[in-house]
Structure 1
Amino acid sequence: MKKIILTLYFVVATLIGYAQQRKPNIILILADDLGYSDIGAYGSEISTPNLDRLANEGLKLTQFYNNSICAPTRASLITGQYQHKAGVGYFSNDLGLPAYQGYINSESLTIAEVLRLNGYITATSGKWHVSGKGKSLPWERGFDLVFPRVEKNADSGAPTFQEQTDSEGYPLEGSFSTEVINRQAEAFLDQIKTQDKPFFLYLAHTAPHWPLVALPQDIAKYKGRYDSGWEAIRQERFERQKQLGLVSQATQPSLVDADIYDWSRLSFDQKKLWSKKMEVFAAMVDRLDQTIGKLLDKLKDNGQLDNTLIVFLSDNGAPAEDLVRWYHGARINKGPVGTLCSYESQGKNWSYASNTPFKAFKDYTYEGGINTPFIAWFPGKIAKGVKQGTGHVIDLAPTFYDLVGAVYPKEYGGHKANALPGKSLLQVLFQDQDTVRRQEGLFWERAGNRAARIGKWKLLSTWPSYKWELYDLEQDPTERNDVAGQHHEVVSRLSIAYFRWAKENGVVDFAELEAKEPKSMKDFRESKVQEIPVPRNF
């Protein structure tokens, strides 16, 4: 009898230990300013074999939403709250109201805080951008391992470390920011590989956000590739998207913005300058993908790969800001585009191609601003394929908690925790469900740009206008045809839902906040009008 009891004890203990050991690791990878079509799996000509592998072996969603700009997306992503509820309703600036204080509040628990309570080791490497006034620093918000841990620079968006250059001003691989951020993440994986706990890694890259800086060997791969111009590249990407099943054969790309340049009318020097910008941008995306390959190799070497969920997405659509006009931009260049002495951006013209097939750019609530490539990979657990999804960054926290059986506390650190508004994606990611079931819809507000989506209908307005536009995303996913005039009842229903959401989340009319808007951000919003720069040597 004693022998049977001992045997049962060891069996139960083994099963318990196995269950604990098999709690999945989670890696959340965020790109910065990456457009919808900027990786191969979403139609790009840029070489991204590692992301393509994850996409081809895992699941791609055709509709997954962010908050159209950096800090608000990151606040929602890491807490599972709408950005205003989390305190980052505008940006990483304090506009004098709780919903606009510019850093994550104590009532909005981070994924790291919740998972650490539930037995996880937590780590982050890269861009944080949701701190302010010395508060809400990553090591105060549940992360055991943090890079970079430089408190005096914590309120700035990007990590700060010294990049070294070659004799021509191009960065050296060993100190290049994308490599450094990834290498530190690999070091964290080595540091924790002998521990019996699962881990959560938030890997927040700064690439391919401007300034356009890349390694010369990566830039060389794309020499001449963009000499045909943005319209030709956009058409190539759109055709690939149809082949990949990301858009239907009946879909038409969005209408061209009136101020996108006609490539054929540019001078030879202007074409060369614009081509070089996109060559450097492509090199940045290429290097980002290379580091993800190194991360996968590290996971495999450490025996951590097979029990790890990897999620990849971008914080917003490709940007429209014109740095010639904003923050002195190209006027302060002291070297060619691609070097550390350059302050160039890809500009609205190339972002028009990056956001194929969608309308508009970062900061807007059209699909080009808020729809991100989304890849979920978990070997043997997530079946490969393409689904619509219609997820949102607020859904990732409840998805992770659901996946690992984490308890979400009602109180934390003496504060009542905000309830989670998002939905678990498990049935979409791991089962046959094609889209998230969400009767209440999804909502956006960013510097006066507003939107609501319920079912197939999307309602939006663009500041400073208050005029509602309405799109049927089933029939018109690229927002070519405003049908507000034909569907007054739908406009009324969605607008009522929007204002209810706004009230619940502390959103205020942007007219009340515009006077408090920092000049740099106002300049950012107004910089989106194009002007042709004076060609420079490069």
Structure 2
Amino acid sequence: MNRKNIFLNTVLLLLSLSVWAQDKRPNIILILADDLGYSDLGSYGSEIPTPNLDRLAKEGLRLREFYNNSICAPTRASLLTGQYQHKAGVGYFSNDLGIPAYQGYLNKESLTIAEVLKENGYITLTSGKWHVSGKGQSYPWERGFDYVYPRDDKNANSGAPGLRTPETDAEGYPTQATFSTNLITRNAIGFLDSIKSRQEPFFLYLAHTAPHWPLVAPKEDIARFEGKYDMGWSVLREQRLKRQREIGLIPTGLTPSAADRDIYDWEKLTAEQRAGWAKKMEIFAAMVYRLDQSIGELLDRLAKNGQLDNTLIVFLSDNGAPAEDLVRWHHGSDRNKGAIGTVTSYESQSKNWSYASNTPFKAFKDDMYEGGINTPFIAWFPGRIQQGEIKQGTGHIIDLAPTFYELANAKYPEAYRATKVNALAGKSLLPLLTSKSQQVLRKEGLFWERAGNRAARVGKWKLVSTWPSQTWELYDLESDPTETRNIAGKNEEVVSRLAQAYANWAKETGVVDFAELESKEPASMKEFRKSKVQEVE
């Protein structure tokens, strides 16, 4: 090689090293809440003070429609890979039903965001709930993450990880120092501190367990909400509806969904019963408040470390608020040993309060109505996302991976470690986030299946069926976003067209008719469905 070529190669090498050392690609932070309902943030109509998330909403963007997979593990599988959950191996839950699409943990053909971004020069960090590993496989430290908390097998795949047994005050309430919400955020902050001098961009997946049951919170947080919920769930729902109309989240003339027949009548409860129910919501509100406060700590540290500039922050929930009742399920009656809110208690808000959390929609976690699959979405990126916007959206968790890859200028491979990988199923949200586009347009539509519950969304039309029924309901979400009018009987051609689209998707994605799998379903999950129906005297 002559001197001229040596000189040119040296210059090119130095230039490439300089560009790498000054990598200006954005940092990406993905924050996931657990069991947070559509109206549980101030920026979505709540009375719960959530100033830090409300700041991100005010300085960023909110979507009216952002979809998940209705329940924990399947949502996380799609979120992390950009695949429909069956394609990723988590078609049912974190249980192995003996079929690849239902093995209960991430398969090797579905790359995680961390694997792809790490290959493209990102530092990758995660703190919190994982819930998509199994059979000793697919732990976060095996799926592309450099920094992981908690780094142990048990907590990695727990549905609601305790992280560690919290210290308590004299009455049994957790201390702020050891409360799980604070632990998750502070470990993430520790990771960020350790990389603050590095030049590479980072991806942080912050997966909180709050406000998932059991209802536990520090005493001083609970005290903030004493007496705030003595009006009951129906009045609370009306108050949230009013705020949602005022902020422009829902149309003024929108008809909210009606209450399920088994929602209790607050006026018929005894004074003692009302006090017990009000206390549950006080603790739930405290958990949401503490989640927001921990995110405030994160924002402050990012700013102090000089890591906040050039950063995209996305916040969402894994499903709608839950209807399960721990008094009747999950060994709740045996586990519940102490006063509600203490670490030895074991209670949930149940569907009465979740009816308010999911305002204005109907149904709950695990259902395919909007209350189960449509939850808050906030995106913040100063200089790239216009402040204070509320858009229709119609985004889906499968869209986040391609969004991050486009933003990071990251190559998505056709093969990874000698394994052919699944093509991405979603669409980049960048046009929606950074331009005048109001929603994601996709001719192919969106589809859902979980334990026999099914749905299809194409344009304004949405089909829904709830197991064990095989009958399709049809809703026009443009005129009826709260699904109050089933118009299937008047639109047989639309039902047929969407049902065929669903069938095609199911075949391509590996969905199996749940009638063939029901015998393999764990007894605890069958009881889960039963616990969602309240006994009304």
TM-score by length of 2: 0.96
Q: Does 1:391 align with 2:390?
A: no
Q: Does 1:324 align with 2:327?
A: yes
Mapped to 1, the partners of 2:52 and 2:20 lie a distance apart of 30
Q: Does 1:111 align with 2:113?
A: yes
State the SS of the aligned residue for 1:326: coil
- Which residue matches 1:46? 48
Assess if the C-alpha contact under 8 Å between 2:262 and 2:536 holds in 1.
Answer: no
Picking from 455, 458, 461, the partner of 1:457 is: 461
RMSD over equivalenced CA pairs, Å: 1.8
Question: What pairs up with 1:430-449 in 2 under 5 angstroms?
Answer: 430-449=434-453
- Which residue matches 1:351? 354
Give the superposition deviation at 1:329.
1.6
Q: Does 1:508 align with 2:512?
A: yes
- Which residue matches 1:283? 286
Mapped to 2, the partners of 1:162 and 1:262 lie a distance apart of 37
State the SS of the aligned residue for 1:107: coil
One-letter amino acid of the counterpart of residue 302, structure 1: N
Mapped to 1, the partners of 2:532 and 2:156 lie a distance apart of 28
Greater mean deviation of Cα atoms: 12-21 or 57-66: 12-21
One-letter amino acid of the counterpart of residue 469, structure 1: E
Assess if the C-alpha contact under 8 Å between 1:34 and 1:317 holds in 2.
Answer: yes
State the 4+ residue runs in structure 1 displaced beyond 6 angstroms.
none
Give the superposition deviation at 1:322.
1.0
Mapped to 2, the partners of 1:197 and 1:19 lie a distance apart of 7
Picking from 267, 270, 274, the partner of 2:273 is: 270
Assess if the C-alpha contact under 8 Å between 1:125 and 1:204 holds in 2.
Answer: yes
One-letter amino acid of the counterpart of residue 302, structure 2: L
State the SS of the aligned residue for 1:288: helix
Distance 1:517 1:21, change over 3 A: same
One-letter amino acid of the counterpart of residue 291, structure 2: L
Mapped to 2, the partners of 1:106 and 1:221 lie a distance apart of 46
Assess if the C-alpha contact under 8 Å between 2:21 and 2:199 holds in 1.
Answer: no
- Which residue matches 2:88? 86
Assess if the C-alpha contact under 8 Å between 2:324 and 2:531 holds in 1.
Answer: yes
- Which residue matches 2:413? 409
Greater mean deviation of Cα atoms: 271-280 or 247-256: 247-256
One-letter amino acid of the counterpart of residue 484, structure 2: R
Mapped to 2, the partners of 1:329 and 1:529 lie a distance apart of 16
Q: Deviations over 1:351-392 (max 9, x none)?
A: 000000001000000000000100000111111200001000
Q: Deviations over 1:26-72 (max 9, x none)?
A: 00000000000001000000010000000010000000000000000
One-letter amino acid of the counterpart of residue 414, structure 2: K
Q: Give the aligned length.
A: 528
Give the superposition deviation at 1:158.
3.3
Give the superposition deviation at 1:328.
3.1
- Which residue matches 1:71? 73
Give the superposition deviation at 1:532.
7.3
State the SS of the aligned residue for 1:174: coil
Distance 1:284 1:153, change over 3 A: closer
Greater mean deviation of Cα atoms: 357-366 or 151-160: 151-160
Mapped to 1, the partners of 2:21 and 2:237 lie a distance apart of 48
One-letter amino acid of the counterpart of residue 319, structure 1: P
One-letter amino acid of the counterpart of residue 236, structure 1: Q
Distance 1:49 1:476, change over 3 A: same
State the SS of the aligned residue for 2:322: coil
Distance 1:354 1:483, change over 3 A: same
Assess if the C-alpha contact under 8 Å between 2:83 and 2:110 holds in 1.
Answer: yes
Give the superposition deviation at 1:167.
1.0
State the SS of the aligned residue for 1:341: coil
Mapped to 1, the partners of 2:259 and 2:211 lie a distance apart of 23
Assess if the C-alpha contact under 8 Å between 2:36 and 2:318 holds in 1.
Answer: yes
State the SS of the aligned residue for 2:177: helix
Q: Does 1:486 align with 2:486?
A: no
Give the superposition deviation at 1:14.
9.6
Give the superposition deviation at 1:526.
1.1
Q: Deviations over 1:497-521 (max 9, x none)?
A: 0010000111011111111001111
TM-score by length of 1: 0.96
- Which residue matches 1:382? 385
State the SS of the aligned residue for 1:471: strand
- Which residue matches 2:477? 473
- Which residue matches 1:36? 38
Mapped to 2, the partners of 1:316 and 1:360 lie a distance apart of 11
Question: What pairs up with 1:91-490 in 2 under 5 angstroms?
Answer: 91-159=93-161, 160-384=163-387, 385-490=389-494
Mapped to 2, the partners of 1:14 and 1:508 lie a distance apart of 49
Mapped to 2, the partners of 1:153 and 1:287 lie a distance apart of 21
One-letter amino acid of the counterpart of residue 198, structure 1: P
Assess if the C-alpha contact under 8 Å between 1:212 and 1:277 holds in 2.
Answer: yes
State the SS of the aligned residue for 1:390: strand
Mapped to 2, the partners of 1:61 and 1:373 lie a distance apart of 7
Mapped to 1, the partners of 2:421 and 2:517 lie a distance apart of 27
Give the superposition deviation at 1:325.
1.0
Give the superposition deviation at 1:16.
5.8
Mapped to 1, the partners of 2:49 and 2:158 lie a distance apart of 31
State the SS of the aligned residue for 1:492: helix
Give the superposition deviation at 1:204.
0.1
- Which residue matches 1:522? 526
Give the superposition deviation at 1:18.
8.1
Q: Deviations over 1:66-104 (max 9, x none)?
A: 000000000000000000000000000000000000000
Mapped to 2, the partners of 1:16 and 1:455 lie a distance apart of 47
State the SS of the aligned residue for 2:404: helix
Distance 1:148 1:332, change over 3 A: closer
State the SS of the aligned residue for 2:312: strand
Give the superposition deviation at 1:331.
4.6
Distance 1:16 1:388, change over 3 A: farther
Assess if the C-alpha contact under 8 Å between 1:62 and 1:246 holds in 2.
Answer: yes
Assess if the C-alpha contact under 8 Å between 1:104 and 1:136 holds in 2.
Answer: yes
Mapped to 1, the partners of 2:303 and 2:536 lie a distance apart of 48
Mapped to 1, the partners of 2:50 and 2:392 lie a distance apart of 22
Distance 1:153 1:228, change over 3 A: closer
Distance 1:489 1:72, change over 3 A: same
Q: Structure 1: 5+ residue runs without aligned partners?
A: 534-538
One-letter amino acid of the counterpart of residue 376, structure 1: A
State the SS of the aligned residue for 2:474: strand
State the SS of the aligned residue for 1:175: coil
One-letter amino acid of the counterpart of residue 359, structure 1: K
Mapped to 2, the partners of 1:199 and 1:331 lie a distance apart of 44
